[in-house]
Amino acid sequence: MSEKKKVISVMIPTYNEEENARPIYEAVRDEIRKDCPDYDYEILFIDNKSQDRTRQIITDICAQDPKVKAIFNSKNFGQFNSPYYGMIHTTGDCTITICADFQDPVEMIPKFVAEWEKGYKIVIGKKTTSQENPVMYFLRDCYYKTIKKMSNVEMIEQFTGFGLYDKSFIQTLRDLHDPTPFLRGIVAELGPERKEIEYTQPKRRAGKTHNNWYSLFDAAMLSFTSYTKIGMRMAEFFGFFCAAVSFILGLVFLVAKLIHWNTFAAGYAPMIIAVFFVGGVQLTFLGFLGEYIMAMNARIMDRPLVVEEKRLNFEPETPESDTTRAQ
């Protein structure tokens, strides 16, 4: 009797990827068949409420290939929740996350698997260069270096989440019950010893990128509030500094006025400057405080990661799977 093959799960998140959905499926399938012939596979698409033909294309693929599964979200649940939810619903011995836009090279799959077989529970891709906009790459690099210095956890530079994760780590993700998961931080904080493989990030194959300044800022704030205390510490120290400076300036003006009562005309200028300065500082750090409170509030509410609209090619559910699905 032949030994049962290990199963490689490949999780592909999509949003308006009608030009890439079928090509990425074919590329992943062919890569595993060619360079990982001793393994079986499953491919899981999780679609974040696409507005184009992406869902129809994925539906057609599922009808043609029973090894392809799909989860269709009832709405767009953001760039972090949806992929994370897809990961915890894979069933393979390992899970590889890969973007549909081909910026994560499918040629890395056999390299990941080879290192996994050596005993690494996590194998990640680490960008060394990128063919994307050089300004954007520079800004990302600055962000990674900054968050690495400020974080309580050793953060991973130029890591997007692209990598292979053993089923034991996938179970860890299931057990977290984090409604606002930041995978990059979780890998750095809770992941076992990992292997990092460098690669050059290619350009997007087709379509438009879904990252904009707001989404990048959202990612930065999530990592900032989840893995650093620097925002609150800066507020404390800078607030104390401003209070001390304001007190000293006020004392100087008071002494000058007392000594030169008839000649020193301070007017309202010092008061106005002080009010605007302190007010600006307060507003700035109230914003930081608000970010922390929003992050705390999301965790306290313990809402589901996503709400599903439809599943394709999944086995009939049991009470146990219902419990997992609700997480």
Q: Give residue-wise pLDDT tens across range 53-86.
A: 999 999 999 999 999 999 999 999 888 899 999 9
Alpha-carbon distances, residue 240 vs 17, 30, 245, 254, 277 (angstroms): 50, 61, 9, 21, 13
Per the prediction, the chain carries an average pLDDT of 81
For residue 121, pLDDT beyond 80? yes
Global confidence as pTM: 0.72
Give the tens place of pLDDT for each residue, 189-200.
889 999 999 999
Average pLDDT over residues 237-247: 69
**Cβ contacts of residue 64 below 8 Å, gap of 6+?**
none
How many angstroms separate the CA atoms of 52 and 18, rounded?
Answer: 7
Alpha-carbon distances, residue 294 vs 84, 176, 178, 230 (angstroms): 20, 19, 14, 17
Residues 141 and 67 in one domain: yes
How many angstroms separate the CA atoms of 117 and 53, rounded?
Answer: 38
Whether 159 contacts 124, CB under 8 Å: yes
The answer to the question of residue 147 being in a domain is yes
Residue 239 banded pLDDT, cuts 50, 70, 90: low
Residues 74 and 183 in one domain: yes
Q: How high is the pLDDT of residue 105?
A: 95
The answer to the question of residue 215 being in a domain is no
Of residues 274 and 20, the one with the higher pLDDT is 20
The answer to the question of residue 223 being in a domain is no
For residue 36, pLDDT beyond 50? yes
Residues 134 and 165 in one domain: yes
Of 309, 323, 315, 317, the residue nearest 82 (C-alpha): 309
For residue 42, pLDDT beyond 80? yes
Residues 69 and 204 in one domain: yes
The answer to the question of residue 217 being in a domain is no
Residues 158 and 195 in one domain: yes
Of 125, 194, 134, 191, the residue nearest 158 (C-alpha): 125
Q: How high is the pLDDT of residue 295?
A: 64
The answer to the question of residue 28 being in a domain is yes
Q: What does the angle CA 106 – CA 110 – CA 113 come to, to the nearest 5 degrees?
A: 120
Residues 148 and 273 in one domain: no
Give the bridge partners for 194, in sequence order: 122
Residues 255 and 114 in one domain: no
How many angstroms separate the CA atoms of 268 and 185, rounded?
Answer: 49
Q: What is the CATH number of the domain that holds 40?
A: 3.90.550.10
Give the tens place of pLDDT for each residue, 254-289.
777 777 777 666 566 567 667 767 776 776 677 667
Residues 259 and 279 in one domain: yes
How many structural domains is the chain composed of? 2
Give the tens place of pLDDT for each residue, 138-149.
666 666 666 666
Structural domain harbouring 277: 230-301
Residues 262 and 321 in one domain: no
Residues 272 and 309 in one domain: no
